Structure 1
């Protein structure tokens, strides 16, 4: 009898192992199957913006997400988490549950600049790329009534008064600080960088006369340079050729300064571990949203142009920006 029970037990165990190996209810196989089947959200989706309301990132994100419901099926709820040059919002984003109900925007190269710092709370592996939204070119701006009419005049004054001119930035080593460094080091002058909580605050400081100049992105200053109530003047463009919308503004390279493109990419990402089917859903939904003629028109009216890149292309861009931060940005602040 004991021998019979032992044989029976062995047969049951073997059958159990065989069923598990063939997908007969094994947990691992069920999880794999879940990640392969189609996914879509069944409740509101939280989207973290690491900058305050009214910033360039926030403005662009709202133009996109407020029109995304027909393609997402649910409301995209923006949560602004400003502070520490973006670190507060991005730390929360990277630590969120990877279930598709929390995604967020990153700004490049600011995200990658922070990611390579010692003891950073996140890195390039803490996120999964979804798609790129905007690619914005950098500009040098002053107040509309500033005494400098050209970038050459600003540089000459800065060279004559080493360290006296002040530039507002969107945070220490953030994207616009890096732009100011690229300008200053290529034009061989010293200045004082004054960090603010983000681009909106940075440009407000310039408009109020707290600083002498700033570096920002085209979309950030679009509403501040046109019309009778224009408050700012653009002196230079971080590009290899002129922008048709700013045809009278020279590139820095034309003037003998930094001669490569520099700006910011604003992209949607998810926390590490987010399944591929969720990433694919948002990648497709955002592509449809950006292709919507009404969405394109809304961006154009705001001085923005969408620049969709899928998850693979965005992943390559993040890697490229990591290399840029390691090999170029770090050297700007070592001097």
Structure 2
């Protein structure tokens, strides 16, 4: 397939996704392949009353977990911690008191850093998808029937400190299994990692993001609201995202701070690509460290989890379509396919579109695989 034909098909498919779904308002897609000499940054739809622009910042959601895990990996490479270290070496007794107790047995001291990174700690989570299910994982409720997300939406102006989210989980939810026995998604586990990063570096998490990633990679429009601002303010407004029909403006809903180190950054597609390529090409962590980050456990159907990175297997028996990177519940994606040699970065800004976004990625991979590689 010729490059221009492939681009035209992708543009048409992206536009059709928005036009054909009343829940979608905008969509963004960056495609990059060195071997095929491709770099397309596309956007369609309406946002803030204007046409969506490829350079527009948007909410990356749980892609932020990949930032968190990468910083932890960089600290491990520097000898400041070890993946096998107990988290009790870094976090306060008061924070850990009552964190992980099942049937009267306290497993808190058994939690290692790698358990938090790989969602194998057994700790609970609270990440909604339009109040429904995120893949096959239900949104956990307190005994009173409330979720943390309910409380966040009831008080949109409240800033949640990470310690407060951990205390809420301890008071309202229960762990699922002893550390290492299974894989279960946990927002709270990543908030603990954010606090661990603060303890090791001596800096707030948002400053660590800038020091380790945003500044070195010139991610000047990336930031962690409401804790920080971008180094350079974008001339374009941050794209809102939607939970079904409810519009969320990330810069105004300060209670999203509860997601903290689990996925609260705003980025552009170009800057997410810059980060992911640096991770893939070994510019951020050692090769053996990256391999350790890619020790996969089955999380959901077609989705495996490593240390802050996911592997997508749309067709389990066709490994050429297997890709890895980060996903966000706002239907944000940041993946690399090593066989086809292509990066796909973008978002649909809609929490109820996650499953459909995976099919879109698969179809895009098939299209790019048909584009001839450039002569070297």
Give me the TM-score of the superposition, normalised by structure 2.
0.26
- Please identify the structure whose Cα radius of gyration is greater: 1
Give me the TM-score of the superposition, normalised by structure 1.
0.28
